[in-house]
Amino acid sequence: LEIKTMPPRKSYLTFERPLTTVDIVIFAVRDESLQVLLVRRSSRDDDPFPGAWALPGGFVDVHRDDTLEHAARRKLFEKTSVKSPYLEQLGSWGGKQRDPRGWTTSHVYFALVSADSVSLVAGGNAEDVAWHPAVAPIGRKRLAFDHSEILEIAIERLQSKAEYTSLPAFLLDEPFTLPQLQRMYEIVLGRTVDKSGFRTRALAADFLIETGEIDVGAPRPAMGYRLRDRKRPAIFPRTFSSRKHGS
Amino acid sequence: LEIKTMPPRKSYLTFERPLTTVDIVIFAVRDESLQVLLVRRSSRDDDPFPGAWALPGGFVDVHRDDTLEHAARRKLFEKTSVKSPYLEQLGSWGGKQRDPRGWTTSHVYFALVSADSVSLVAGGNAEDVAWHPAVAPIGRKRLAFDHSEILEIAIERLQSKAEYTSLPAFLLDEPFTLPQLQRMYEIVLGRTVDKSGFRTRALAADFLIETGEIDVGAPRPAMGYRLRDRKRPAIFPRTFSSRKHGS
DNA sequence: GAAATAGTGTCTTTGAGACAGTATAAG
DNA sequence: CTTATACTGTCTCAAAGACACTATTTC
């Protein structure tokens, strides 16, 4: 085996390192619409994008955070007090131009929570943290950094996965009823869904466990369900995509 | 909103930063089997995992690389001389424990190339870069760092997407024939695929463009095709998943 | 009883699965 | 001719779509 000459170990690692951050797209359904949690950046003008809305997040703390996911859960808990939401990695954005302070990488996570489980933790000002509608024209909201683009992609991912997985179930507290779950799908997908087909599909996928009838204020009580697995969504054999049902 | 270069508040950004790396899982089909490109780490024992096989990659160079994807393409070109393969982000792995040199983040990309388009660029030793079978027991290969786990996930992703997208087409040079494409699916999925159904499905998805008949040495020449879009795979309305066809 | 919501039955349609068939080339 | 490969036709079947229907509660 050939030994190649290399610089000594310590000097080998002294090159410049990018800043490493974690950001979270937190979705919830409030007032019958899909919303996303945003925070307002400080208004001191030696910070980038002073006063602009941005995705919650921050720098990875190499002493407090064991992994990227831990960092994401920490940031999420700091803002919402939610302990164990559904969380998945959306992707990473890294480059020279996205932050005026230099080369940064953002590791973006994607969280689904129920609106009721959240208690917002604001900074000094109550308007520092707030829910915003997550609809198509969100791109025109001009978030800080490249967060508008990231949010668009997060919405696309949520809608796309709602077509063939049980993801929208993570937007509800347990137990929930099938009509409530159907409503989550309709809100996320932005169109109505046929009741009969929805029930057949949801029950056939075998990701729900009955918890007994519950009364949600409707004239007739409905069967309550909880998720068999709160870590991963179930995957359906085909997508939705109705023909005559339009929004 | 305009991105201005501003004098950073030095004191605010002087905390410790993780090491930032990019790794690539490069797949090709060689000798009728799915293979992955691995590199052997230097055998100096002050480096982690001396002599072990690992995914090709390296540190992000904040002066040469504009974005994470540029860094990935640079690493890929350095190892394979391939200019514009199919490339997508697989995910990021970051934490305190995965590298003895400290907190690191790996941004892993996923590349599909044709075996013929690759000319390996080895270091001093010809065995520094080599193709390895990418099959289930790859986990027992004990790659460096957490690369075994990452490779497993990459294989799962490729197989999973092959069920409902045109991804395997990126493993071929253009023009290719439908029987050749079907063979790529069979190799990736590890099972036979019905000819008639495959043709119907592939042509209905409308991602192929005829380029005239070509003779690939078979008794009868076949129609050649190229991809309508070399950036993104087409998505089929349903998955494969045959019942009686077994592997 | 009416009204509202929960849940079911059933016909249609779409597209995959299986497999037998035909077409075109080389020898 | 035979053989090998390219390509097609057709029957079956699973599951979604559409929509009308029944069931159970409150008022």
Nearest to B107 by CA among B158, B70, B138, B78: B70
Candidates A103, A145, A153, A164: best to mutate against B (most CBs of B within 10 A) is: A103
Q: What pLDDT does A71 receive?
A: 96
Nearest-by-CA chain A residue for B46: A9
Q: What pLDDT does A128 receive?
A: 86
Each residue's pLDDT tens digit, B94-111? 999 999 899 999 999 999
Three-state DSSP at B212 gives strand
CA distance B157 to B57: 20
Q: Which nucleotides of C are covered by protein (CB under 7 A)?
A: 3-10, 14-20, 23-26
- The CA–C1' separation of B197 and C21, in angstroms, is 15
User: Is A245 a residue whose pLDDT tops 50?
Assistant: no
What confidence tier does B113 reach under pLDDT thresholds 50, 70, 90? Answer: very high
Nearest to A114 by CA among A59, A180, A53, A66: A180
Q: How far is B204 from chain A (nearest CA, A)?
A: 17
What confidence tier does A42 reach under pLDDT thresholds 50, 70, 90? Answer: confident
What confidence tier does B183 reach under pLDDT thresholds 50, 70, 90? Answer: very high
What confidence tier does A247 reach under pLDDT thresholds 50, 70, 90? Answer: very low
CA distance A7 to B21: 19
Cα–Cα distances in angstroms (integers) from residue A94 to residues A18, A26, B72, B113, in the given order:
9, 21, 11, 24
Q: What pLDDT does A137 receive?
A: 59
CA distance B172 to B184: 8
Query: Looking at the complex, does the CB of residue A17 fall below 8 Å from at least one CB of chain B?
Result: yes
Using the CA of A218, give the nucleotide whose C1' is nearest. Answer: C5
A128 exposed, middle or buried (CB, 10 Å; 0-12, 13-18, 19+)? middle
Which residues touch B74 (CB under 8 Å, ≥6 apart)?
B64, B65
Interchain CB distance below 8 Å, B96 and A61: no
Q: What pLDDT does A83 receive?
A: 87
Query: End-to-end CA distance of chain B, in Å?
Result: 56
Interchain CB distance below 8 Å, A16 and B67: no
Q: Beta carbon of B230 within 7 Å of strand C? A: no
What confidence tier does B125 reach under pLDDT thresholds 50, 70, 90? Answer: low
Q: Which of residues 185-204 of B touch strand C (CB under 7 A)?
A: 194-197, 200-201, 204
Q: What pLDDT does B59 receive?
A: 94
Using the CA of A213, give the nucleotide whose C1' is nearest. Answer: C6
Do B19 and B101 meet the contact criterion of CB atoms below 8 Å apart?
yes
Q: What pLDDT does A84 receive?
A: 84
CA distance B143 to B209: 40
- The CA–C1' separation of A204 and C3, in angstroms, is 31
Q: List phi, psi (to 5°) of B240.
A: -70, -115
Query: Looking at the complex, does the CB of residue A105 fall below 8 Å from at least one CB of chain B?
Result: yes
Among A143-147, A243-247, B65-69, B139-143, whose mean pLDDT is lowest?
A: A243-247
User: Is B245 a residue whose pLDDT tops 50?
Assistant: no
Q: What pLDDT does B51 receive?
A: 86
Query: Looking at the complex, does the CB of residue A93 fall below 8 Å from at least one CB of chain B?
Result: yes
pLDDT over 70, % of chain B: 87
C-alpha dihedral, A202 to A208 to A214 to A215, nearest 10°: -30
Each residue's pLDDT tens digit, B200-223? 999 999 999 999 988 878 889 999
- The CA–C1' separation of B75 and D4, in angstroms, is 43
Q: Which of residues 151-180 of B touch strand D (CB under 7 A)?
A: 177-179
- The model's pTM is 0.89
CA angle A34, A244, A196 (to 5 degrees): 75
User: b vs e for B200-210, b when ≥16 Cβ sit within 10 Å of the residue's Cβ?
Assistant: ebbeebebbee
Nearest to B85 by CA among B176, B171, B188: B171
Mean pLDDT throughout A13-29? 94
Displacement of CA B231 from its chain's centroid (Å): 14
